[in-house]
Amino acid sequence: MPAQLIYSLMARKLSGEISEAELQELELLLRQYPDEHFAVEIISEHWLQTADKKNPALEKSFDKVWETIQAKQETESQDPVVVLPTPQKINRTIWRWVAAAACLSAIGLFAFLYKKNTALTPSVNEITTRYGSKTKLLLPDSTQVWLNAGSKLSYDNNYGNTIREVKLVGEAYFDVVKNAACPFVIHTDKMDIKVLGTAFNVKCYPGEKNMETSLIHGSIEVTLKNRQSEKIMLKPNEKLVLSDETTAKTTGKEPLVAIRSIVHDEHSDDILETAWVENKLIFNEEPMEELALKMERWYGVNIHFTDEALRSNKITGTFENESVEEALHYLQLTTKFRYNIDKKDITIFK
């Protein structure tokens, strides 16, 4: 049964023991069986939300559902619906959650416990990544999405019926499956992006000075929320940059809209706007203040400046496998500063 293998591989992924070959197999299975995608994303989301702390209410709820599932299986068949091995290295809770979801799917309930010990099927599906982490996912139509750190993607259960709509907060790279009869639309706080089939990057973190949409191939149509009558078409290798409204208010002007070329790294030819998908943080003449924001998401830390002059120092470089301390040491080679690390708080000073 494909569901058995999908949830078995999902358990290994959540435990951190999955191999590269198994990860590729999991992605292939989810493309072949998109109906299993919803349960997989729900498992991932709830595991991330509760991985750092015990949730007695959730544990008690799962115990009740687990008993119900086992009783139902015994009455319907001599054989269990799902048979999963139990490697000793894998956290017991992960296996119980994955097995429970697999059983629920197999017997047609396909719901997930959330609040008040009630099994509910949410109308909106949300996938969230914390700082210091990224994820790749498949939407029900096999559209691929890479979700950067500190981001959230949501879509409802009607996705794909007449239109494919998602809502994004943060940053994501999309490789959209082409379907002329069913447009793909991304809603952000300041703009909507409509496509048929293409690859592009969207960055819309709250509080940042600029929002960007970078087109790699295909074509997209951008509509600004405060200029509904205007449609902006982007061509491959172009990006739309929308300045922050706060900056616009201080200048007394409307938010600046500019179309620019995407930037290639002169050493590796990587595209700066999408290098994060390949686990590379590339920056070119970047003010240290803006680089600090990216490092906070990249490493899951908080960076504080005690000297305002350091914020505007411009830096060029690439981080790939460096630890946060190695990255800071690298930056010290081009900019004079000292730093102090206290757990996840980093203070930068002269």
**How far is 314 from 290, CA to CA, in rounded Å?**
9
Per-residue pLDDT at 311 = 93
CB 68 within 8 A of CB 81: no
Using DSSP, how many helices (H) and how many strands (E) does the chain show? 8, 20
At 27, the amino acid letter reads: E
In angstroms, the Cα distances linking 102 to 93, 269, 292, 293 are 14, 43, 41, 39
Spell out the per-residue pLDDT of the chain, length 350, in tens. 566 677 677 777 776 667 777 777 787 777 666 656 656 665 665 555 554 445 555 455 445 544 554 554 444 444 333 333 334 444 555 555 555 555 545 444 333 433 333 344 457 889 999 898 899 999 989 899 999 999 999 999 889 888 899 999 999 999 999 998 899 999 999 999 999 789 999 999 998 888 999 999 999 999 998 887 889 999 999 999 998 654 445 455 556 889 999 999 888 889 999 999 999 999 989 999 999 999 999 999 999 999 999 999 999 999 998 999 999 999 999 889 999 999 999 999 98
Q: How many CB atoms lie within 10 A of CB 342?
A: 8
Q: Give the span between the Cα atoms of 56 and 120, in whole angstroms.
A: 19
Specify the pLDDT at position 5.
74
The CA distance from 193 to 335, in Å, is: 39
Write out 48-108 in H/E/C secondary structure: HHHCCCCCHHHHHHHHHHHHHHHHHHHHHCCCCCCCCCCCCCCCHHHHHHHHHHHHHHHCC
Antiparallel, parallel or unpaired: β 238-243 and 220-224: unpaired
In angstroms, the Cα distances linking 12 to 6, 86, 90, 91, 141 are: 10, 11, 7, 10, 25
Q: Please state, in angstroms and rounded to a whole number, the distance separating the CA atoms of residues 111 and 38.
A: 10
Bridge partners for 137 per DSSP: 145
Burial per residue of 294-312, b for 16 or more beta-carbon CB atoms within 10 angstroms, e otherwise: bbbbbbebebebeeeebee
User: SS3 breakdown of the chain: % helix, strand, coil, rounded to 5?
Assistant: 35, 30, 35
Distance between first and last Cα of the chain: 61
Q: Which residues contact 152 (CB under 8 A, 6 or more apart)?
A: 126, 127, 128, 129, 168, 169, 170
Tokens of 221: 């149509």
The two tokens of residue 103 are 């059983």
DSSP code per residue over 6-35: HHHHHHHHHHT---HHHHHHHHHHHHH-GG
- pLDDT score for 110: 38
Domains of the chain: 1-121 (no CATH), 123-266 (2.60.120.1440), 280-349 (3.55.50.30)
Is 200 strand, coil or helix? strand
